[in-house]
Chains A and B, each alone.
Chain A
Amino acid sequence: MAQITLIEAVTQALAYEMAHDDSVVVLGEDVGVNGGVFRATQGLQEKFGELRVLDTPLDETTIAGVTVGLAAAGMKPVAEAQFEGFIYPMMEQIACHAARMRNRTRGRITVPAVWRAPWGGGIRAPEHHSEANEHLFTNIPGLRVVMPSSPARAYGLLLAAIRDPDPVMFFEPKRIYRQYKEEVPDDGEALPLDVCFVLRDGTDVTIVTWGAQVKEALEAADALAEEGISAEVIDVATLTPLDFDTIAESVQKTGRCVILHEAPKTAGFGAEIAARVAEECLYELLAPVERVTGYDTHIPLFRLEMKYLPSAERVVEAAKRTLANS
């Protein structure tokens, strides 16, 4: 079985689903001949032709709106926003139409579309290429917001996203696109959406995170273990609709919660999880909830970029504070 990277897992999932479902089409800027700027769609146009892997005019609004039209007409489009920082022009179509179509037509018209976007910082990219803004979409009813954190979860969750009858934002943490490889069988097996994955069992503190930060969370858990602290690590994976039960169960067990994300702190999705923990787990909490996040600043250009991104060390410190405050 092949060892593949996260980006290769994305390609593998797209190729599998396109081969098994004629209604799946890929569209975006550079997705055809060039195979996408990150090569996520490499080889697909050769296999499936220029109409099913369509290079669009350079206009994010067009990509988003055409995706809505394709999906409403019975296709399953997978659109690529070349970088998460370019997704803002797409938001009107996604929020006003994709996310609302089922509801406003009482189910008569639906939008089973996926918007993929390379997400987050850490690759020394130019300005506007490193945004982490998943929280802008988690507040839109009718959307699924999904973020894989490993090659296997990228493959399984993307298959699930394409097969889902509702619109899905699929944010790919580009910092870990090629960070490591793992075995991912190309068996067409989807992973479930709307569930959190418990990646590591623990009893002292729960670390809740998603996407690229799973790496820092696991590193922090390793470091804490060396000090005799048992951390449970949860990969939220589908941010909305949120599987809060899994988080609550863990926090009720550990009594402590550290939330880790790359996006700015204020009104980031961590705020939602912290509020839910306060609402539903307050009496089991042994210490205040900690948030380790990006700052409420624009992500800096790359000389300062790594100082913006939350580190495993900050997570360790936050976890220790929760123990000290207990």
Chain B
Amino acid sequence: MSIAAKFEIEYLQYLDAEGKQVRDDLPEFAKDLNHMVELYKLMMSTRVFDAKSVALQRTGKLGTYASCLGHEAAHVGIGSAMKPEDVLAVSYREYGAQLYRGVQPREVYMYWGGDERGNDYQNEPARHDFAWSVPIATQCLHAAGTALAFKIRKEPRVAVCTIGDGGSSKGDFYGAINIAGAQNLPMVAVIVNNQWAISVPRKIQSGAPTLAQKGIAAGLYCIQVDGNDIIAVRKAMEDALDRARNGQGGSVLELVTYRLSDHTTADDARRYRGEQEVKDAWAKEPMKRLRAWLVAKGVWDDQKEEAWKNECDEWMDNEVNAYLETKTQPVTAMFDYTFAEVPADLAKQRDLALSLEKKAH
């Protein structure tokens, strides 16, 4: 019997759970320790932001919120590798990547606080990125379409989508990587494998030993990465983005991480996963290992940690205040953006809503 095809999936890791360097061939960006400190600081601010969001929800100031606790290396690694001109299409918890691209915490608060203006990111480059996608995996096809637009217009840009381990089961994901392979699109699909799709564990999502290998069937470059190791994530992302930008096609990256939080604030993960598993996951969490590495390099210490934590707290307090001070949109807003211009028939309903509003006051 002859072999029609063979494949293997590489696993990439630079820092182990203790922050010990397991490879000597550090990528260029990681040799710049000031830059690594900046990445650590953004991971930390992401964590502070996340804790603040949960606290806001618990006190009734946000609606349901999807936490990103434990995803800091994966998310900041994705965002920091991208160029401003690239486009990011995320699901609903990749705040670390988005903060890097200019999304403001107040915008995240607004979105989860029930205000569409949270999706109207004010800062570039986030302003040309997609807004959070709640329907699972659908945003992968938006990235594919955007990558196709880049290819048609011959722009050296890349579209990046992120998806969870659960989302990688959906047809939209397969469709996106399939057309990316068929058309050699500049697209990078990142599976943030945090082990749980609400209550369904990774092992029930797929019989495949890696999720990265799903891209093999689509003809894409595939790699599995320690998603708690920001050096590995950033390196794999940079390589994938370079390949895409150079016309070498798309990639599928599987970032193996862990959701340390509940799925959302409406979920109770204790119903379906054991305490020991979560305890073990905390031992591998992404910030501890980077902090240990930076401390060993002599560029970070407790004092700096405390100072930056205070800065983050202040930043988030300002953002929360800005969010809380934002007035609710007028009732007409629900009509004003349904179409480019309000059609005559809809204008009558708009008038009705407005008159009811006036009556209510």
**Chain A residues close to B by CB (< 8 Å):** 25, 51-52, 54, 56-57, 59, 61-62, 64-75, 77, 89, 92-93, 96-97, 102-110, 141-142, 144, 164-166, 194, 241-245
Q: Provide 22 A-B residue pairs closer than 8 Å at the C-beta atoms, listed in order of the A residue.
A: A57-B178, A59-B178, A61-B172, A61-B175, A62-B141, A62-B172, A64-B141, A65-B141, A66-B148, A66-B179, A69-B144, A70-B149, A72-B142, A72-B146, A73-B145, A77-B145, A93-B141, A97-B135, A103-B338, A142-B338, A242-B345, A243-B345
Q: Which residue of A lies closest to B149 (CB)?
A: A73
Residues of A within 8 A of B10 (CB): none
- Are A65 and B142 within 8 A (Cβ)? yes
Q: A62-B141, A241-B339 are in contact. Are A72 and B130 (CB under 8 A)?
A: yes
Residues of A within 8 A of B4 (CB): none
Chain B residues within 8 Å of chain A by Cβ, number:
46
- Are B146 and A241 within 8 A (Cβ)? no
Q: B143 at the A/B interface (Cβ < 8 Å)?
A: yes
Residues of B within 8 A of A51 (CB): 151-152
Set B117, B127, B144, B334: member contacting A66, Cβ < 8 A? B144
- Are A52 and B340 within 8 A (Cβ)? no
Q: B27 at the A/B interface (Cβ < 8 Å)?
A: no
Nearest CB in chain B: distance from A307 CB, A:
35
Q: B343 at the A/B interface (Cβ < 8 Å)?
A: yes
State A245–B345 Cα separation when bound (angstroms).
9
State A279–B135 Cα separation when bound (angstroms).
36
- Are A106 and B138 within 8 A (Cβ)? no
Q: A62-B175, A65-B142, A77-B145 given. 8 additional CB < 8 A pairs? A: A64-B141, A66-B176, A69-B159, A75-B149, A103-B334, A109-B131, A242-B345, A243-B345
State A72–B340 Cα separation when bound (angstroms).
14
Q: Which residue of B lies closest to A108 (CB)?
A: B120
Q: B109 at the A/B interface (Cβ < 8 Å)?
A: no
Number of A-B contacts (CB under 8 A): 141
Q: B150 at the A/B interface (Cβ < 8 Å)?
A: yes
Set B176, B183, B346: member contacting A65, Cβ < 8 A? B176
Chain B binding surface SS class: helix
State A164–B130 Cα separation when bound (angstroms).
21
Nearest CB in chain B: distance from A157 CB, A:
16
State A103–B127 Cα separation when bound (angstroms).
15
**Chain B residues close to A by CB (< 8 Å):** 87, 89, 116-117, 119-121, 127, 130-131, 133-135, 138, 140-152, 159, 171-172, 175-176, 178-179, 182-183, 333-334, 337-340, 343-346
Q: Which residue of A lies closest to B115 (CB)?
A: A106
Nearest CB in chain B: distance from A17 CB, A:
16
Q: A102-B339, A142-B339 are in contact. Are A70 and B344 (CB under 8 A)?
A: no
- Are A69 and B148 within 8 A (Cβ)? yes
- Are A66 and B145 within 8 A (Cβ)? yes
- Are B171 and A61 within 8 A (Cβ)? yes
Residues of A within 8 A of B151 (CB): 51
State A144–B346 Cα separation when bound (angstroms).
12
Set A71, A75, A92, A106: member contacting B119, Cβ < 8 A? A106
Residues of A within 8 A of B152 (CB): 25, 51-52, 75
Set B116, B143, B145, B178: member contacting A67, Cβ < 8 A? B145
- Are B148 and A106 within 8 A (Cβ)? no
Nearest CB in chain B: distance from A266 CB, A:
23
State A73–B182 Cα separation when bound (angstroms).
20
Closest 8 pairs between A and B when the two form their complex, measured CB to CB: A69-B145, A65-B141, A241-B343, A62-B175, A73-B149, A66-B145, A69-B142, A165-B340
Nearest CB in chain B: distance from A302 CB, A:
31
- Are B345 and A244 within 8 A (Cβ)? yes
State A180–B107 Cα separation when bound (angstroms).
55
Residues of A within 8 A of B130 (CB): 72, 109
- Are A62 and B178 within 8 A (Cβ)? yes
State A141–B339 Cα separation when bound (angstroms).
9
Residues of A within 8 A of B143 (CB): 69
Q: Which residue of A lies closest to B119 (CB)?
A: A105
- With most chain B CB atoms within 10 A of its CB, the pick from A54, A64, A70 is A70
Q: Which residue of B lies closest to A96 (CB)?
A: B135
- Are B141 and A61 within 8 A (Cβ)? yes
Q: A69-B143, A194-B343 are in contact. Are A62 and B116 (CB under 8 A)?
A: no
Residues of A within 8 A of B178 (CB): 57, 59, 62
- Are A62 and B144 within 8 A (Cβ)? yes
